[in-house]
Structure 1
Amino acid sequence: MGKFGYNIEISGVVFTYYIGGFKMVPEQKPSYLYILTGMLVSLVAISFARLAYGVVLPFMKEGLSISYKMAGLLGTITSLGYLVTVMFAGVVSTKWGEKRAILCGLSLITIGFLNLSYTASYIYSSIFMFLLGIGTAFTFTPLISVLIQWFPAQRGLVIGFVNSGAGIGVFITGALVPFLHSLYPETDWRITWRIFCILSVLVCLMVLLIIKNPPMKKTAATEPPVLPRQIYTDRNVIRVALIYGVVGLTYITQSIFMMSFMLDEGLKAQHAGKLIAIGGILSILSSPIWGGISDRLGRKSALLLAMAFNLLSTIAPILMPNSFGFTVNLLIQGIVNTGVFTMVQTLSTEQVHPRYATLSFSYATFYFAVGQFIGPTLAGLAIDYVGFTSIFSLSAVWMAAALYLVTKVPTKTELQTSMSIEPEKGNVNI
């Protein structure tokens, strides 16, 4: 292969090539299809199965005649399904292969969407919200794993594009739900779940036809295995995991209750939906842009900058609970949020040797799941007693704590110049 990415074809098989700047290990399918499929999987598993509930919540709450506390618990139940299976999903994907795990997860999500569109009770809704969480766990971590194995040299950029799929989903949801509400005020949320179900089936078919598991890499016979606990107790991995946990807690809380907060302060449903949709549009390019910034400034410096903006956006509706404050919040969130996800996720894979990156990522994702589990419950309780402002104030405090933790994360240069840990001595850092 030439330095500019010439293809090498032997007996009709393309072994290694560049397409649009992406370098793949030996494979026959064009790389952009993997990236596109990954974006669509993220759209279904993250946006529709997790984040969309915040936009659907006010209308589903009325349809089921439940309180904000009960509505918040539904979000918690989804997070619980994710939490109890995310580590197990990593093990299963290792045994089954990432593609089977992704297909399994998407199938569970599809079943959840279909049944939520017909639910008539809180208990029935709880069962299938839980199923959405399980489906997400079996989908997203294996998805990241398979893509960073296909694109080992561009993991940050690839994760960025995959996360931009979540931004597309937020845009679609923010525009779709209020539009359906204006046409079908009694059944809008049910129609939304059905549309999600149809799109999930189509994405499942794309994964079946396009994605392949990476070829297995041989490990040197003399290389001793590293135990998971050696990664789980690494202080750098733990720092990044804690940051990811706070990001999960604050993001899911704001995603679930932002629409309700705006409506409670007197904003029209369509206006609030438009603000969410605009934030979603901005977030589509957020991940790749912040990936480029982090390449220039360094992952740590870029993350500090993005999380500082994130903190300011959270404070805005606390000080100005009006259209202007919400606009500031959603615009800044759209610009930085998925970029924060991308940089923290990439950081989690960079704290250890590349061959342990998936294990490190799944461990950090467990903390993220814990944050998403406790966030909606605490928020639902606080809203019923002290209102939305208290929730956003608490989120700001947590974000400030995460910002401090980022200052303690070593830069890539510091990792490389610090002690080089050998597997046989129980250390796993670069």
Structure 2
Amino acid sequence: MELKSASRFWIYVITGMLSTMVAIAFARMSYGVILPYMSDSLSLSYKQSGFLGTITSLGYLTLVLVAGIVASKWGGKKTILSGISCTTISFLGLAMSQSYTMSMFFMLFLGIGTAFTFTTLISTVTAWFPSKRGFVIGLMTSGVGIGSLTTGFLVPYLNDIFPEHGWRYAWATFSVIGCITLIMIFLFIQNPPNTSKRSSDTKFAAPSITPLRIYTNINLVLVGLIYGIVGLTYLAQSIFIMSYMIEYGIDPIKAGQLIALNGIISIFSSPFWGYISDRVGRSNAIIITSILTCLAMSVTVLSQSLLGFTLHMILLSSTVSGLFTLVQASSMDHVDEPHEMPIAFSYVTFYFATGQLIGPIVSGWLIEDFGGFKTAFLMLTITLAIGVLFAILLRISSRKKEKQTVNVEETI
């Protein structure tokens, strides 16, 4: 299907937003909102609940680097279609799940679907619009906020109407939206131009030492560590925050509205921080958002009132989606050649997936055996504080590299 440049931009962005909504908001973040109802229905412990979140991350972690290799052979479009198909089928399976074991199977496949969707989607769409990389990533990441908004309203509403099976209808609704997204990808998304030529071009193909050079790039390692901390803390927060609020007497409907508020603000957070980073520098913006995210998490340790949770949600939603976007863009800022960007992005995403693997299971363990929700969220706060230190180190390291580059150019 031939599209004019302006039409292609917005169709690709809208399709990308739907894809991130399905692959991230529904497949990864919605579980925390559904969990209290799903847990009661299936009689899950906090450890089992945490492990279900972890096994999704395991599927993601195991195949996120493989997905890049598959995309280079199949092309981005086929890889994304495969990922969304896997995710959509998993939603349907969870809607019909009757046991912990069955849920575990489909949660694993949610992770696999996300692995084949997200990094390939970002690489494919931004390849069409290289001069608008940060803006495009920010807009597509807004799909996560839209998905969180949808989840925050939809899940409590369905469970209010259907107390026994509302959570099943929620998963089924996600499956329907997944089917719509699948059709849009099939109709509109195309592989970037000259893909086949580049893949056979020896100049485009990176030398064998390139991955090792990227993996040992200190700036990329720091970006990866920050992204890993974001993955660990935000996924654990999204899984357990609903249960945390209900545990301390917050009405489930109000708790769902706070999740929805989080989604509304998150929609605008990514483009806003992308714009700010263009003005103050990427590393400076990462420091600011890391500090604010850490403060947002600390509020849940200091206060368990409605006001405290509201402040937490407002601060977190105002910063963490922007932090996602900044780290993703930063991963591609620290390589020199276009063909190195997907490798760099996949590399830091591996850290992110590792954090997502660790976060839910450790948090579930702390909640059940070591002091409850306060202990778990204190751990998340301390982890984010470590992320602030990494962000400061990234800024120092980036400045040193910039000075070295300027000195080399002056010498030449």
TM-score in terms of structure 1 length: 0.89
Correspondence for 1:261 among 241, 244, 253: 244
- Structure 2 vs 1, CA of residues 327 and 94 (structure 1 numbering), >3 Å: closer, same or farther? same
Correspondence for 1:145 among 123, 127, 133: 123
Correspondence for 2:234 among 228, 237, 251: 251
Structure 2 counterpart of 1:106:
84
- Cα displacement (A) at 1:416: 4.2
**Is the Cα contact below 8 Å between 2:290 and 2:391 reproduced in 1?**
no
- Residue 371 of structure 1 aligns with an amino acid whose one-letter code is G
Structure 2 counterpart of 1:279:
262
Looking at structure 1, the residues matched to 206 and 188 of structure 2 have their Cα atoms a distance apart, in angstroms, of 35
Correspondence for 1:164 among 142, 152, 156: 142
- Structure 2 vs 1, CA of residues 213 and 295 (structure 1 numbering), >3 Å: closer, same or farther? same
Looking at structure 2, the residues matched to 76 and 256 of structure 1 have their Cα atoms a distance apart, in angstroms, of 10
Looking at structure 2, the residues matched to 133 and 393 of structure 1 have their Cα atoms a distance apart, in angstroms, of 27
Structure 1 counterpart of 2:387:
402
- Cα displacement (A) at 1:222: 9.9
Looking at structure 1, the residues matched to 38 and 247 of structure 2 have their Cα atoms a distance apart, in angstroms, of 16
1:317-328 residue pairs with structure 2 within 5 A?
317-328=300-311
- Residue 243 of structure 1 aligns with an amino acid whose one-letter code is I
- Cα displacement (A) at 1:337: 1.2
**Is the Cα contact below 8 Å between 2:84 and 2:114 reproduced in 1?**
yes
Correspondence for 1:313 among 296, 302, 307: 296
Looking at structure 2, the residues matched to 328 and 212 of structure 1 have their Cα atoms a distance apart, in angstroms, of 42
Structure 2 counterpart of 1:349:
332
Looking at structure 1, the residues matched to 246 and 333 of structure 2 have their Cα atoms a distance apart, in angstroms, of 41
Which structure 2 residue ranges, 5 or more long, are not aligned?
407-412
- Residue 256 of structure 2 aligns with an amino acid whose one-letter code is G
**Is the Cα contact below 8 Å between 2:286 and 2:326 reproduced in 1?**
yes
Structure 2 counterpart of 1:301:
284
- Cα displacement (A) at 1:30: 2.2
1:67 is aligned to 2:45: yes
**Is the Cα contact below 8 Å between 2:284 and 2:395 reproduced in 1?**
no
Looking at structure 1, the residues matched to 401 and 115 of structure 2 have their Cα atoms a distance apart, in angstroms, of 30
Determine helix, strand or coil for the equivalent of 1:418. helix
- Structure 2 vs 1, CA of residues 306 and 120 (structure 1 numbering), >3 Å: closer, same or farther? same
- Structure 2 vs 1, CA of residues 228 and 275 (structure 1 numbering), >3 Å: closer, same or farther? same
TM-score in terms of structure 2 length: 0.93
Please identify, of 351-360 and 341-350, the stretch whose mean Cα deviation from structure 2 is larger.
351-360
- Residue 296 of structure 2 aligns with an amino acid whose one-letter code is S
Correspondence for 1:378 among 341, 359, 362: 362
- Cα displacement (A) at 1:66: 1.2
- Structure 2 vs 1, CA of residues 126 and 160 (structure 1 numbering), >3 Å: closer, same or farther? same
1:388 is aligned to 2:373: yes
Structure 2 counterpart of 1:34:
12
- Residue 307 of structure 1 aligns with an amino acid whose one-letter code is S
- Residue 400 of structure 1 aligns with an amino acid whose one-letter code is A
- Cα displacement (A) at 1:352: 0.6
- Residue 270 of structure 2 aligns with an amino acid whose one-letter code is S
Looking at structure 2, the residues matched to 237 and 95 of structure 1 have their Cα atoms a distance apart, in angstroms, of 26
Structure 1 counterpart of 2:409:
none
- Cα displacement (A) at 1:415: 3.9
- Residue 9 of structure 2 aligns with an amino acid whose one-letter code is S
1:206 is aligned to 2:184: yes
Correspondence for 1:121 among 95, 99, 112: 99
Structure 2 counterpart of 1:364:
348
Structure 2 counterpart of 1:418:
404
Please identify, of 408-417 and 30-39, the stretch whose mean Cα deviation from structure 2 is larger.
408-417
Structure 1 counterpart of 2:273:
290
